[in-house]
Amino acid sequence: MKKKLWNQETFRKTPLVLLALLFFGFALWAQKDQPAEYKIPPEAAAKANPVKPTAESLAKGKKVYGVDCEVCHGKGGDGKGDMASDIKNVTDFTNPDALKNRTDGELFYIIRNGKGEMPPEGDRAKNDDIWNLVNYIRSLAKK
Ligand code: HEC
């Protein structure tokens, strides 16, 4: 017997097909809104740290850290600041692996521009303030 193209079965399945289309459309749309991968310009990553990690630099870095970073990254850099319960994946600077693969230039860029849920320092800090921060957070890694 020849099957009709538009039989009862087809009509029964039509809502399912529409639902599936809607679902895939939504999935595509959601993907489009996903943030792009975090990219640091190579010239920023290659930038050398002009500030030596002297006791003076570390002391200055610690001071700014206490004001701008400690709420999340915690006293001593353990990643358990007061706000860390609301924000996930705050980097733990005491873990020697945490910043191991980052150049000073990359850290500078991240601190200046922010990353994920971390707000940017932006114009609040002078370049040297940020280099001092880079030196300070590196000094927090457990040996
Ligand atoms: C509001 C909370 C918050 C504050 C304030 C904050 N951070 Fe962060 N920080 C984060 C979070 C969350 C991450 C992880 C971001 C990610 O990888 O998506 C992070 C990551 C980092 C990283 C590592 C990023 C990497 O990919 O290696 C550095 C370095 C850093 N922060 C430095 C600082 C410094 C320095 C300050 C102060 C000037 C600061 N942060 C202030 C939340 C914060």
- For the chain, the domains span 42-139
More confident residue, 79 or 29: 79
- Ligand 1 within 6 A of CB of 137: yes
What average pLDDT does the chain have? Answer: 91
Sequence letter at residue 82 = D
Instruction: Tell me what pLDDT residue 14 has.
Output: 79
Beta carbons of 94 and 78 less than 8 angstroms apart: yes
69 C-alpha to ligand 1 centroid (Å): 8
CATH superfamily of 42-139: Cytochrome c-like domain (1.10.760.10)
pLDDT the model gives residue 11: 74
Best of 71, 91, 103 to mutate for ligand 1, by most ligand atoms within 8 A of CB? 91
| pLDDT for the residue numbered 71 | 97
Q: Whose CA is nearest to atom 29 of ligand 1?
A: 107
pLDDT-based confidence at residue 126 (cuts at 50, 70, 90): very high
